Amino acid sequence: MLATTKAKGPGGVVNGAKTTVYRGAITLKQLSAVVPSLRKGLTAADGKNVVNWKIWIGADQLVRKVATSMTMTTKYKKTTMEIETANTTSFVGWGSKVTVKAPPKSTVADLSDLDGGVPEMPDMINLGD
């Protein structure tokens, strides 16, 4: 993502670390080139959607925070829908000892649980009068 940086500047202090904030934008097509899981189901039209991003990096070169936003436009028959998403993730405790305990097997989805078709959308969605 840093290869698509359009601007950088002081990012202030994030989680106790002085940071530099990098800003940019990347298309889903560009992002899918380095994130294989995005490729599945990505259409040419979807690939044109742009993810705006900011990354705060500390003087120690550790990522402190990442913020992304995107407005995705999709068409179905004669209907156009816009879906807006925004996400911010903070990274703290670099260098701390971490213990990760696996969840109970009964609560874990496998690929067959996630794989499948998308249900047909009705020709008209009634949102109320």
Average pLDDT of span 107-112 = 80
pLDDT digits (tens, 9 = 90+) for 28-75: 889 888 888 888 877 787 788 899 999 999 999 999 999 999 988 777
Domain housing 82: 2-95
- Does residue 53 lie in a domain region? yes
pTM of the model: 0.69
- Secondary structure of the chain in HEC code, one letter for each residue: CHHHEEEEEEEEEECCEEEEEEEEEEEHHHHHCCCHHHCCCCCHHHHCCEEEEEEEEECCCCEEEEEEEEEEEEEECCEEEEEEEEEEEECCCCCCCCCCCCCCHHHCCCHHHHCCCCCCCCCCCCCCC
- Does residue 104 lie in a domain region? no
- Does residue 86 lie in a domain region? yes
- Does residue 23 lie in a domain region? yes
Number of folded domains in the chain? 1
- Does residue 114 lie in a domain region? no
